Chain A
Amino acid sequence: MTAAATDRATSSPTSRPAPTTKGPTVLRVVASEWSKLVSLRSTAWTAAVTVGLTWVTAYLSANASSGDPGFEPLSSLSQGLVLSQLSMLVLGVLAGTGDFRAGGFRTTFTAVPRRLPVLMAKVLVTTLVGGVVAVVSLAALVLGVLPAARSRDIPLDLTAQWTPQVLLGSGLLLLGMALLGLAVGSLVRRTVLAVTVALALVFVLPVGFVLAADLASPPQVGVSTETVVTELDPVSTVMELMPSNAAYRMTTTPDSAGPDGAPDLGPVGGGLVFAAWILLPLVAAGIRLRTRDLT
């Protein structure tokens, strides 16, 4: 730099002193991951689709059951998330594979050689963005059942009975799906494979197991109605422990019984199983990041 330029730099009244901490501090890593996630076009798309789908499915399912005499608008809250958890999952997967898609990971991990702070910052940032999308989706959920409730003149009391817990569970389901997608995406790193694995885990496998349950159930002829199924059926147990079913259990009330032949996890238990499903690929992704070559 020439002497004139140096003079200009130090004598300008608006020049700031050089920062004292060097390198990738936690705040800087989080800030960079935030700008990366928010600038992805897919994040905005999947967030919009989640909110839109939640409203549409809540509206349709509330309208479909509004003809029943015992219509409870708040009981159709849990129906609204069936499709939108798909788009939250994809939001997470694309956030997790974002760095590896266009080769940006080389720059990222050159700047942050310890590597794990990047993964933790991704989790934090995805939680923030996923949390915002989940809250907006919950609003869309309630707004979706509102017209049907109004048409039957049923007042909506969101603080009544178990509704706050159901709403909390629904929000946690959406957030958890995004984090599960992030974990799978960070572990697998290739977009098509990660989306396939995530969708297979959450949607395709349970359908396959439902087929198994249908084929495996013994014929109902001659079974007395007083017999209660108390033994654990292996197929139903595995089904209940799958991520989608465990997450769904979070949105149910504690007094509702689970499916026959499966352990009754309750909402908290379901949440814990779901959290374990999220932590497993996340820890594996961290181990892969830390102990393996990146390219």
Chain B
Amino acid sequence: MTFARVVAAEGTRLASVRSTGWTALATVAAAASVALGLGLFVQTGDGTSGTALVVSGAVVAQLGALVLGVLVGTADYTWGTATTTYTAVPRRLPVLAAQALVVVAAALVTAMLALAASILVTAAQRDTAGLPLALAEASSWRPLAGFAVYIVCVALLGLGAGSLLRHPAAALVSGIGLLLVLDSALAANPGRICDTVRSLLPGVGTRLLQDDAQVAATEAANLGPTLGVGGAALVLLGWVVVVLLAAAVRLRHSDVTMAARQ
């Protein structure tokens, strides 16, 4: 059982399940419709840039990415095929690694499609509002690349949570709680401690979506440690590594046959 075959097996599993296609489609549609909706309300001279409008769908699209990761991570346990899989691959960890590769590929494709859809859908509004996309400038590329990186990292977080918790609802709720709810709850109470905790949550990844002016504004309002885009990327990647490591430890050392379906 070479690693390439394990990756092929995971790829086949992901591609043959209908929910993958629907999840990706829903993510792209959600991102595009949020961008479209915001574009209807944007006014000239607001100070927003074209890229900010295009990546604005990330907040809703991250839900689809999380679901994608959770579906891959919990597939073995909801369908009861864990015994078969780990009989074929007794070393176990190659399966998790293959799942991570496959999730990265799927999330990357979804993110590209979502960006393309957002750009297409807001093209007319950006022209009338005079918000250029300015793809020739490097500073415009960063939020777009950050969108893709953020979506991929959220999907990997979902994979880790799903593999660790083995129950789709628990994994989804933990992911949403960690990414969105905790962040907004702490944001409602600004203060040094709350802002510091917020800077250590994976939700800082949204800084990857912001251009320089917005990052400066966010950091000015932040009473915790100054992260910047690089620091935010490190925190997000750190979370991904920690959750995947925890999933790997659990996979390696615990029984896979008795995942309850409650």
Q: Specify the main secondary structure of chain A where it touches its partner.
A: helix
B residues neighboring A (CB under 8 Å): 19, 34, 37-38, 41-43, 45-48, 52-53, 56, 59-60, 63, 67, 70-71, 168-169, 172-173, 176-177, 180-182, 184-185, 188-189, 191, 193-194, 260-262
Look across to chain A and name the residue whose beta carbon is closest to the beta carbon of B43.
A218
A-B contact count (CB 8 A): 96
10 shortest interchain CB distances as A-B pairs: A216-B41, A82-B185, A192-B168, A41-B262, A195-B169, A208-B60, A195-B172, A199-B176, A212-B38, A64-B189
Q: Within the complex, which residue of B41, B185, B261 is in contact with A212, where a contact is CB–CB below 8 Å?
A: B41
Answer yes or no: A284 CB below 8 A from chain B CBs: no
A 175-212 binary contact with B (CB < 8 Å = 1; else 0): 00000000000000001100110011001110110011
Q: Given that A42-B262, A64-B191, A235-B41 are known contacts, is A203 also in contact with B60, CB under 8 Å in the complex?
A: no
Specify which chain B residues have a CB less than 8 angstroms from the CB of A142 in the assembled complex: none
Q: Are the CB atoms of B184 and A207 closer together than 8 Å? A: yes
Q: Given that A79-B188, A90-B169 are known contacts, is A192 also in contact with B70, CB under 8 Å in the complex?
A: yes
Kindly state the interface size class of chain A when it binds its partner: 35 or more
A 30-57 binary contact with B (CB < 8 Å = 1; else 0): 0000000000111000000000000001
Q: Are the CB atoms of B173 and A90 closer together than 8 Å? A: yes
B33 to chain A, nearest CB (A): 10
Specify which chain B residues have a CB less than 8 angstroms from the CB of A199 in the assembled complex: 63, 172-173, 176
Within 8 A of B (CB), among A52-95: 57, 60-61, 64-65, 79, 82-83, 86-87, 90, 93-94
Specify which chain B residues have a CB less than 8 angstroms from the CB of A205 in the assembled complex: 60
Q: Are the CB atoms of B34 and A208 closer together than 8 Å? A: yes
Answer yes or no: A19 CB below 8 A from chain B CBs: no
Report how far A208 CA is from B189 CA in the complex, Å: 20
Report how far A42 CA is from B168 CA in the complex, Å: 12
Q: Are the CB atoms of A216 and B42 closer together than 8 Å? A: yes
Q: Within the complex, which residue of A82, A102, A208 is in contact with B261, where a contact is CB–CB below 8 Å?
A: A102
